[in-house]
Structure 1
């Protein structure tokens, strides 16, 4: 799935009925790849999340992007991965219909409450490693693991969301514009350089996400995107002050060389050994 230049989306208002079935209720979030709405499925009488694809280019490119993301998610049946119900088109807009998740994102939680306690970080990490294991087993690389894409649900689920820039494991990244499709402060060094990425790239992003959970900010956030990318490639992480026993695990995940990062199984074993 390739990110391309973003254009201003069509005007969409709360209350709009999409595809004669989904009533928009509130805007949940927005990003470079689209807008996500809370909607009511008036046929099945349930809440869903509706992602409106916001991409420039020909209509077939937008359609292909929506189908690619939906197919990626459809290949996965895991409690830690957001579920997709359908892909629809309405008035020229492409939409992905997904399960509605309660709770807050990790980013929202840290912003509101500060860093998470170590036991909560450990539990969340175990869930995320298990979800990534399933993602990689399906032949996919998420490519955008970050606090804003981790949902901490009210029922205790920890769910990985937004597969808008996911790629297949054997898909080589070659276009410089693709590097900026994700979040510089959480991407791996190899992705920041524009090299091919694999499952180890998601593990680096997981390490950066866990750092943010326990320390309150990204380990490489250096202001502007370019400076941040340079820090990701060349600099050591920011100092640890609250990580305690999870520090060695996070440090291992943040290893610059993807070949020497721990695997999901090794990361799980280290977390269980705490």
Structure 2
């Protein structure tokens, strides 16, 4: 669906967040309540009739999801039907998924891996008590937030325990790397299948390796899942403590009867290994978000003028706020190339953005900053600023104000040196404006 389209007459699509086998997820604006939401469109189960049996099953699943109230489970706000396609409206989670964290960090310390798994287990315990199975536990469905939460999302693939799955023919639910063998065989999944996924994620965190080896051929992965299974951690020279290794082995057992009975039991067993884990994860997330915000800001480059690489002005915000206090700090390591907006993207944005829409997007970004959703704000400003520079000019108030708030993002992410550099550049433009006004 296109950006700007209204789903259910209420949710204006803003940006595509991702696609999967079941559909696509968009960031959207709730026009009634004025808040950011995530809209998941279940394209794989399209063609529903408002009064049909499939829609009734979907409503039952949505009601089951809505019963789950826990900080470790993504909140469901609404559901409905749009042009024959079912959709779910959920909270937007600002953070990093577990797959990204391990990809950038490698194997996690025992305390960090155990703390994340403990959060997952507690969330699953609540979901299972509500009669809901997740059915797709994998690293990309585990979000780690900067405020120190572990959140399971994509319960759109879940179903009420014992009920028929809502799926189109031929659609496989889950990833073979993290799917329980009985689920791969097409059997009726139970809570023990979610615990298998939890164990496979814990193996992934502790080793930095995919549970069933490199993904070269899905068929080969399925053969390993149904054959030798996940390698045992017990007795591995570089493995975790014995009790933790034994727990991972039990969770990843081929036979569901050999796994722990309940998620609450797993959470209790993990708690002994979690000391210091939350601090490690939140520190790492802060560093990743800071580095991304810095690279995004520094990567905005236009062809006109050497001063245009940053963004806007040290002009007080709508509430007269000053930037957060900043402290100079040593340059931190940054991996990879500095990203820049592609020429195609810039032309597309330039062609569609007016002075009014630029100001509107800037206001959205300011609201995000004030709510503490800094990474989302940094992304939005990275798109708005170069357009403002090119369309409105580098010393236009909208451009300068956007740059000011970009500096605020950097400062609050502890990128003090970069924030000060940006504010210095912005101040030069402000001084020029004042000098021109006094002539």
Return the alpha-carbon distance in structure 1 between the equivalents of residues 68 and 10 of structure 2. 25
Verify the 8 A CA contact 2:73 2:151 in the aligned structure 1.
yes
Verify the 8 A CA contact 1:172 1:195 in the aligned structure 2.
no
Verify the 8 A CA contact 1:101 1:153 in the aligned structure 2.
yes
Q: CA deviation at 1:235?
A: 1.1
Return the alpha-carbon distance in structure 2 between the equivalents of residues 204 and 108 of structure 1. 21
1:21 to 1:165, Cα distance in 2 relative to 1, 3 A: closer
1:170 to 1:121, Cα distance in 2 relative to 1, 3 A: same
1:265 matched residue in structure 2: 264
Superposition pairs of residues 154-233 of structure 1, within 5 angstroms: 154-171=146-163, 180-221=172-213, 222-233=215-226
Specify every segment of 5 or more residues in structure 1 that has no aligned partner in the other structure, as ranges.
1-11
1:34 matched residue in structure 2: 23
Return the alpha-carbon distance in structure 2 between the equivalents of residues 57 and 85 of structure 1. 21
SS in 2 for 1:244: coil
SS in 1 for 2:155: coil
Q: CA deviation at 1:142?
A: 1.3
Return the alpha-carbon distance in structure 2 between the equivalents of residues 76 and 219 of structure 1. 29
State the number of aligned residues.
261
- Larger Rg, first or second structure (1 or 2): 2
Pair 1:149-2:141 in alignment: yes
Q: CA deviation at 1:273?
A: 3.1
Deviations 1:29-81 (A, max 9, x none): 11111111111222212111111111256323774564344223112111111
Verify the 8 A CA contact 1:172 1:197 in the aligned structure 2.
no
2:228 matched residue in structure 1: 235
Return the alpha-carbon distance in structure 1 between the equivalents of residues 187 and 121 of structure 2. 23
Please, what is the CA RMSD of the aligned residues? 2.5
1:224 to 1:72, Cα distance in 2 relative to 1, 3 A: farther
Superposition pairs of residues 110-149 of structure 1, within 5 angstroms: 110-149=102-141
Return the alpha-carbon distance in structure 1 between the equivalents of residues 171 and 14 of structure 2. 33
Return the alpha-carbon distance in structure 2 between the equivalents of residues 46 and 110 of structure 1. 31
Return the alpha-carbon distance in structure 2 between the equivalents of residues 260 and 238 of structure 1. 16
2:8 matched residue in structure 1: 19
Return the alpha-carbon distance in structure 2 between the equivalents of residues 203 and 37 of structure 1. 29
Superposition pairs of residues 35-114 of structure 1, within 5 angstroms: 35-56=24-45, 58-60=47-49, 63-64=55-56, 66-114=58-106
SS in 1 for 2:157: coil
Return the alpha-carbon distance in structure 2 between the equivalents of residues 97 and 194 of structure 1. 29
1:178 to 1:86, Cα distance in 2 relative to 1, 3 A: same
Specify every segment of 5 or more residues in structure 2 that has no aligned partner in the other structure, as ranges.
274-439
Could you say which structure has the higher helix fraction?
2
Return the alpha-carbon distance in structure 2 between the equivalents of residues 188 and 20 of structure 1. 39
Verify the 8 A CA contact 1:145 1:205 in the aligned structure 2.
yes
Deviations 1:220-271 (A, max 9, x none): 1453222212211221424757641232221121111111211323322321
Higher relative contact order (CA 8 A, sep 6+): 1
1:21 to 1:205, Cα distance in 2 relative to 1, 3 A: same
Could you say which structure has the higher strand fraction?
1
Verify the 8 A CA contact 1:116 1:213 in the aligned structure 2.
yes
Verify the 8 A CA contact 1:129 1:267 in the aligned structure 2.
yes
2:248 matched residue in structure 1: 250
